[in-house]
Amino acid sequence: MNIRVAQVRTVPEKGDLEANHRTLMSVLGDLAGSAVDVVVTPECFLDGYVSTEDAVSREGIKDYAIVPSDSPYVDSVSAWAGENSTWVVWGCSRLSPDGVYNTALIHGRRGELVGFYDKTHLQLHDYKYDPGQKLSVFDSDFGPFGVMICADRRWPETVRSLALQGARVIFNPTYGMHDDRNVRMMQTRSYESEVFIAFTHPQQSLLTGPTGDILCNDTSGDTLFSITEIDLSLVDEVRAGEMAHLRDRRTDLYLR
């Protein structure tokens, strides 16, 4: 099965939710009619990943967080997703009774908020957030998919856990490292777990495949997004091949 993935590539304004929401809706407007199946934004796009600012404390991050069930920003994205029959995975700071999370909200083709993923691996400025507690896959019309956020990708267990749950593609909103080392790392993550990964950074749209191939690596400023078509059946072929990684693991030897 083929799906078309649109990766938003533009730098949001630090702490300006209104401006970033306008930018997102403008990009979504440009994507309307493009027959894309999934749109992915960078990490914490709505607030511009304001946690990196020294002036923003763990308590202060609440000022930039939203409650998804009561947010006009979420309502706008939901309406677009439903009108365009497109999945949308987009980043924000999420306020809950437990604290604030670095979150990717997930809208289905009917516009419904089908779930969210909270960043699990926190270091440095991300300690202003509470850590997510699960690595889950989400059901869709194109099969199960995973979501991870930025630094989560640096732990191979993240990608492997999602792949073992059946994810054939992982959407990766991010804001951090996007150098040549990262490109090699993303190729490796895709290769070792036989999965597509859509690494989506404000300045880079990178999409790697289950054989480690680079399918998109766009850093141009000419457009605010990249669109890449991927064939998810390739994952099934690789995982059934003679040298399949997931199938031929030696779980009897590995440390837990």
pLDDT tens digits, one per residue of 77-114: 999 999 999 999 999 999 999 899 999 999 999 999 99
DSSP for 31-92 reads: HTTS--SEEE--TTTTTTSGGG-TT--TTGGGGG-B-GGG-HHHHHHHHHHHHHT-EEEEEE
Phi, then psi, of 30 in degrees rounded to 5? -65, -30
pLDDT > 80? residue 256: no
pLDDT > 80? residue 43: yes
Q: Which residues contact 58 (CB under 8 A, 6 or more apart)?
A: 127, 128
Task: With beta carbons less than 8 A apart as the criterion, state whether 172 and 88 touch.
Answer: no
**The token pair that represents 200 in the structure block:** 């989506």
DSSP 11: P
Q: How many CA atoms lie within 13 A of 109 on its CB side?
A: 8
Task: With beta carbons less than 8 A apart as the criterion, state whether 61 and 129 touch.
Answer: yes
Task: With beta carbons less than 8 A apart as the criterion, state whether 171 and 104 touch.
Answer: yes
Give the pLDDT of residue 32.
95
**Cα(240)–Cα(135) distance, integer angstroms:** 24
Average pLDDT of the chain to the nearest whole number = 96
DSSP 184: H
Give the pLDDT of residue 98.
87
Give the pLDDT of residue 222.
85
DSSP for 41-57 reads: --TTTTTTSGGG-TT--
Domain residue extents for the chain: 2-239
Residue with tokens 């070792």: 192
Q: Give the model's confidence band at 158: pLDDT under 50 very low, under 70 low, under 90 confident, else very high.
A: very high
Give a three-class secondary structure readout of 216-250.
Answer: EEECCCCCCEEEEEEECHHHHHHHCCCCCCCCCCC
**The token pair that represents 112 in the structure block:** 């419904």
Give the pLDDT of residue 132.
96
Q: Give the model's confidence band at 159: pLDDT under 50 very low, under 70 low, under 90 confident, else very high.
A: very high
Provide the CATH number for the domain formed by 2-239 in this structure: 3.60.110.10
